[in-house]
């Protein structure tokens, strides 16, 4: 007698990608249950903000603003991350994912620092202290100052969330390991080799970052993930040549 053994749809997903999908999903559900306190505690704040904690460099990678944000990040992780984990193994892929995600946040913090310095030039020192002491409470009440002080407050006291930096690192890693694999896009409905897909996305993020377009999207964090991914893969390739 033949028995049919059903398999979980997650059975063929490698362990790190599988666990990342599950953890990110659970964290979004937790935000629906506990509300904004999750973002206040686990999102990444600028280091000069009173809400900043060092652990946020890690926890913000598992937080998402809404289901759409989560879906597209996790879909990209599934599409491209599985191939990288199969090639590198779970330990190296996990290191890659975390390093690119943290690296992306460091680049975005650097961009915040530059913007804050530019704004602060034309503000008295009391304004900076006011933003640090009162800015978080004001934003929690859905209010803000106008003009330069309001912009400064947003940079200081708005949290950054999402796995996008690591996801863009995964995307670049896929493009470097499988440059000639053809990807069929849905929007627009065209086929592109992975290397061109990565270059187009990188150029688009650079343009949007420089022109400051795209709403609340941290474009330089995306670029940061790609930069750290490129450096890490180049280091690994150099070490491999050194040993062999």
- Give the domain CATH number at 136: 1.20.1540.10
- Check residue 142 and give left, alpha or beta (phi > 0: left; psi -120 to 50: alpha): left
Task: Name which of 110, 158, 156 is nearest 130 in CA terms.
Answer: 156
**9 falls within a domain:** no
pLDDT classification of 113: cutoffs 50, 70, 90? very high
- Which bin fits 214, alpha (ψ -120 to 50), beta or left (φ > 0)? left
Of all residues in the chain, what percent are helix, strand and coil, respectively (each to 5)? 70, 5, 25
Residue 195 lies in a domain: yes
Residue 40 maps to a domain: yes
pLDDT value of residue 169: 96
Asked if the structure places residue 136 within a domain, the reply is yes
pLDDT at 74 over 50: yes
Confidence of residue 209 (pLDDT cuts 50, 70, 90): confident
Give me the domain span that covers residue 194. Answer: 15-243
pLDDT digits (tens, 9 = 90+) for 28-69: 999 999 999 999 999 999 999 999 999 999 999 999 999 999
Q: Note whether residue 118 is domain-resident.
A: yes
- 2, part of any domain: no
What is the value of pTM for the model shown? 0.90
Q: Residue holding tokens 């670029």?
A: 223
Of the two residues 242 and 115, the one the predictor is more confident about is 115
Query: DSSP class of residue 193?
Result: E
* 7 lies in some domain: no
Query: Does residue 7 carry a pLDDT above 60?
Result: no
Count of structural domains within the chain: 1
On the question of pLDDT at 207 being above 70, the answer is yes
Q: With respect to residue 29, please indicate whether it lies within any of the assigned structural domains.
A: yes
Least confident range from 48-52, 73-77, 141-145, 158-162: namely 141-145
**Highest mean pLDDT: which range of 117-126, 163-172, 178-187:** 163-172
């Amino acid at each position: 007698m033949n028995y049919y053994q059903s398999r979980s749809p997650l059975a063929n997903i490698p362990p790190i990608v599988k666990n990342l999908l599950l953890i990110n999903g659970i964290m979004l559900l937790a935000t629906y249950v506990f509300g904004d306190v999750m973002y206040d505690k686990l999102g990444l704040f600028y280091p000069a903000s009173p809400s900043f904690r060092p652990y946020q460099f890690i926890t913000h990678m598992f937080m998402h603003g809404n289901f759409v944000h989560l879906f597209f990040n996790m879909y990209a992780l599934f599409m491209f991350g599985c191939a990288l984990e199969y090639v590198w193994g779970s330990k190296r892929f996990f290191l890659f994912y975390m390093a690119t995600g943290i690296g992306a946040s460091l680049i975005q913090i650097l961009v915040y620092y530059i913007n804050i310095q530019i704004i602060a030039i034309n503000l008295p020192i009391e304004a900076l202290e006011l933003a640090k002491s009162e800015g978080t409470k004001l934003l929690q009440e859905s209010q803000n100052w106008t003009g330069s002080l309001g912009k400064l407050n947003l940079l200081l006291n708005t949290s950054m969330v999402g796995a996008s930096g690591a996801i863009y690192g995964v995307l670049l890693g896929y493009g470097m390991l499988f440059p000639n694999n053809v990807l069929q896009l849905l929007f627009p409905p065209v086929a592109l080799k992975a290397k061109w897909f990565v270059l187009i996305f990188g150029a688009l993020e650079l343009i949007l970052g420089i022109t400051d377009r795209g709403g609340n999207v941290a474009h330089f964090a995306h670029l940061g993930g790609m930069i750290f991914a490129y450096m890490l893969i180049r280091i690994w390739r150099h070490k491999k040549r050194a040993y062999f």
